[in-house]
Amino acid sequence: MPKLGMQPIRRAALVKATIAEIGEAGSLDVTVSKIAKRAGVSSALAHHYFGGKQDLLVAAMRHILSVYGAAVRRALAGAKTPRARIDGIVAASFAPGQFEPAVIAAWLNFYVQAQSAPGARRLLAVYQARLRSNLVHALRPLAGDRAPEIAETLAAMIDGLYIRHALGAAPDGQGATARVAACLDGLLGEGA
């Protein structure tokens, strides 16, 4: 079987298996052996393609974030009006895919990691900055100078609603979108 060009295939499989394992465990307390077994290889191979357990976990987190980033970009591409841009960002953040157990587990553990792991903190900062930038850009025509602070408020609402829906009874984002919209209307309604 050992054909050429296995590297990217194995890496992808291992990352996928890592995410699945994290989702099943709910935490980063996963073993390399279990991951490797799920990917259909030996644990030694996981160490071969990734330096060690840490690198595997980082790669998994990075993959999750890149998927989310791509969804946001896709949502923004098809939006013409400022309001549609905001709605797109919100919709992407509350898309069904974001509420898969593995994705929820990844995000929550990412927050935990961001406390102490400089790499994770930096990555989180990048994604938060990008989100804020997108929101400010969309809000500028609607709110003028108040765009930055409203963006911060919306970003916090997105995070807060996500966690509440992720850990609450409703396993999807139903209602969250409407709640953000109502809040935005309220904030835009009152003049400077």
- Closer to DNA by CB, 47 or 146: give it: 47
Site for DNA in 45-74 (CB under 7 A): 45, 47-48, 52-54
Under the criterion CB under 7 A, does residue 19 sit at the interface with DNA?
no
164: nearest Cα among 59, 92, 94: 94
Site for a copy of itself in 24-43 (CB under 8 A): 25-29
10: nearest Cα among 28, 35, 29, 34: 35
Residues 153 and 183: beta-carbon distance below 8 Å: yes
Under the criterion CB under 8 A, does residue 67 sit at the interface with a copy of itself?
no
CA distance 107 to 65: 9
CA distance 108 to 112: 7
Identify what 33 binds: DNA, a copy of itself, none; CB under 5 to 8 Å per kind.
Answer: DNA
Under the criterion CB under 7 A, does residue 169 sit at the interface with DNA?
no
Q: Would you state the torsion angle of the CA atoms of residues 82, 166, 32, 125, taken in this order, to the nearest 10 degrees?
A: 40
- Closer to DNA by CB, 7 or 133: give it: 7
What are the residues binding DNA (CB under 7 A)? Answer: 1-7, 10, 30-33, 40-45, 47-48, 52-54
